[in-house]
Amino acid sequence: MKGGLVLFYALTILLLKHFQVILRSILNILIHLLQNISQMNFEQINLHLEAYKEHDQILDAAKYLIHSFDLEHENFAGFGFREELSPTSMLLTAEGGLGGPQTVMIPRNLFDFDLNLVLNMVAHEMLHVRQKAPGQVIEDKNEREFQAYYEMLFHKVFPQIPEVSDFHKKFFGGKALEYYKRMGEGSVLQQKYAEQKTEVEHLINELP
């Protein structure tokens, strides 16, 4: 009887291990499929954006982008144009009073830049749209900017947004720390975001 139980337990453990191997294999296959689907979707979106760009439909391209990546918000009033800075740099802004609709101003050469960077820049402004929405207004500019730059690094609000290059992570991390400093040494806001500030510093230090 005892020998039978030992054999039963041994077979059970063997089956469980075999089952775990099968599950891992299935999981790896699913992850691979999802990555391929995501890559295909990203490439498809890029093709659509190129078509908009060829026809000089930049505002329509921007609308398509936020729709494709689920960045829309009821406090968003639309896109408008602002001046281009240069072929190598860009500036986007969310304009409108606190508690009121926000218009995101973009340069006409927005889609000349890397799409991952563009997505993060647009998401930054769409977070400002939310921060200024009725009922959830964040009044302090330093807090708004710290949140937005932190989001560009960790994508807690918009996990669907891809990462930027290490170069831009360092830049955005530096901007986050700059706005943290502007909150005031030992201020209530600094205490509120002390943990996130440590995360930013750790990320920057880990980058090559």
Domain residue ranges of the chain, discontinuous segments joined by +? 1-55, 56-137, 140-208
CATH of 56-137, one of 3.20.19, 1.10.3470, 3.30.70, 3.30.2010: 3.30.2010
The whole-number pLDDT of residue 33 equals: 41
Round to whole Å and give the CA distance between 152 and 199: 13
Roughly how many angstroms between the first and final C-alpha of the chain, as a whole number? 62
- pLDDT band at 43; cut points 50, 70, 90: confident
Phi, then psi, of 122 in degrees rounded to 5:
-65, -40
Residue 14 is predicted with a pLDDT of 67
Among residues 192, 102, 90, 93, the alpha carbon closest in space to that of 140 is found at 192
The residue ranking higher by pLDDT, 158 or 9, is 158
pLDDT: which is higher, 16 or 186: 186
Q: Please state the rounded mean pLDDT for residues 129-141.
A: 97
How many C-beta atoms lie closer than 10 Å to residue 57's C-beta?
Answer: 14
pLDDT confidence bin for 41, thresholds 50/70/90? confident
- Residue 30 is predicted with a pLDDT of 47
The predicted-structure confidence for 93-120, as pLDDT tens digits, reads as follows 999 999 999 999 999 999 999 999 999 9
Residue 151: pLDDT over 90: yes
Residue 124 has pLDDT above 60, yes or no: yes
Average pLDDT, integer, range 66-94: 96
- Is residue 27 pLDDT above 60, yes or no? no
Helices (H), the chain: 2-54, 58-68, 115-131, 141-154, 166-182, 188-192, 194-206
**pLDDT at residue 138 is higher than 60:** yes
The pLDDT of residue 34 is 42
Q: Tokens 């054999």 belong to which residue?
A: 7
Per-residue tokens: 172: 């955005």
